[in-house]
Amino acid sequence: MMETPVRKAVIPCAGLGTRFLPATKAQPKEMLPVFDRPAIQYIIEEALASDIEDIVLVTGRGKQAIENHFDKSFELEHYLKERKQYQLLNKVERIAELADIYYVRQKQPLGLGHAISCAKSYLQHEPFAVFLADDLIYSKTPAIKQLINVYKKYNCSVLAVEEVPVEKISHYGVIKPVKISESVFKVEDIVEKPKASEAPSNLGVVGRYILMPEILDILSGVQKGKGGEIQLTDAIKILLKTKPVYAVKLNGKRYDTGDKLGYMKASLEYALRDKEIGGKLKKYLKTV
């Protein structure tokens, strides 16, 4: 039987970004620029490069800048046209044409699991991708496409994982894996933010998922878990009782841009890779 293609994605953007205060007091962390574009634009570009064109963003109060970024900007386009700044005009126009983006509000930040369930009626009965916008993954094959490739093989939910150093493992959802190949694992169990001594492996879940639609019904019944939030991990744990779940170790470099150091590394390295700025920046860095 052919698997249903993954055509839809949900990007939860309703978190408060407390790790990045005060920068995120009045502006969404997803709009902080990583080199020359807001973090969320890289995520949309990754979805499009993986043939996902239907995207729902779960937003909250104070997140209007995201909607404005992906909308047309008549004044700006008019201004650039008048001044014949066609290269810039092209860049600005392209953003609004990138994808069909829908918006739904999470009225209270009750957790990642709750944010995803806010998009339930839009997601319907298809497998869907989840992107956490904090995690930027620089890779040859787009990260979500790496997951889709595994989904196509096993026709079930797939999580992205990464080897995490022991001192950081308690910040992650951690899987109990059965190794299938160098980078693919069958998930036997999953634990949200375990103590290092209780972690079932060093494989922590990072911000990309392919989820089967059953997860949405499960999420509606999940009680508040760690941190008083509706946790996606708790729903995946229930899903595991009846359906297989796989995990894939991503091939690429991940940056946690929700963290100040991770954000600085991302911004710097994306700039260093740029043809125009990269060389000059490298030269400058040697002087500081």
Residues in contact with ligand UTP by CB under 6 A are: 12-20, 58, 106, 109-112, 114-115, 132-134, 258
* Least Cβ distance, residue 257 to ligand UTP (angstroms): 10
Q: Closer to ligand UTP at the Cβ: 144 or 184?
A: 144
Q: Which residue is nearest to ligand UTP (CB)?
A: 15
* Least Cβ distance, residue 20 to ligand UTP (angstroms): 6
**Helical H segments across the chain, by residue range:** 39-49, 64-69, 74-82, 86-97, 112-117, 120-123, 143-154, 214-221, 232-239, 260-272, 278-285
Give the whole-angstrom CA distance, residue 68 versus residue 64.
Answer: 6
Q: Closer to ligand UTP at the Cβ: 109 or 262?
A: 109
* Least Cβ distance, residue 259 to ligand UTP (angstroms): 8
Q: Closer to ligand UTP at the Cβ: 113 or 142?
A: 113
Q: Closer to ligand UTP at the Cβ: 12 or 127?
A: 12
Q: Among all chains, which residue has been given the structure tokens 């209007």?
A: 64
* Least Cβ distance, residue 133 to ligand UTP (angstroms): 5
Q: Closer to ligand UTP at the Cβ: 80 or 147?
A: 147
* Least Cβ distance, residue 77 to ligand UTP (angstroms): 29
* Least Cβ distance, residue 144 to ligand UTP (angstroms): 15
Q: Among all chains, which residue has been given the structure tokens 């922590």?
A: 204
Q: Are 57 and 101 in contact (CB under 8 A)?
A: yes
Preceding omega of 22 cis (within 30 degrees of 0): yes
CB atoms within 10 A of CB 130: 24
Q: Which amino acid, 179?
A: K
3-state secondary structure of 186: strand
Strand 33-34 to 37-38 pairing:
antiparallel
CB atoms within 10 A of CB 34: 22
Q: Closer to ligand UTP at the Cβ: 60 or 127?
A: 60
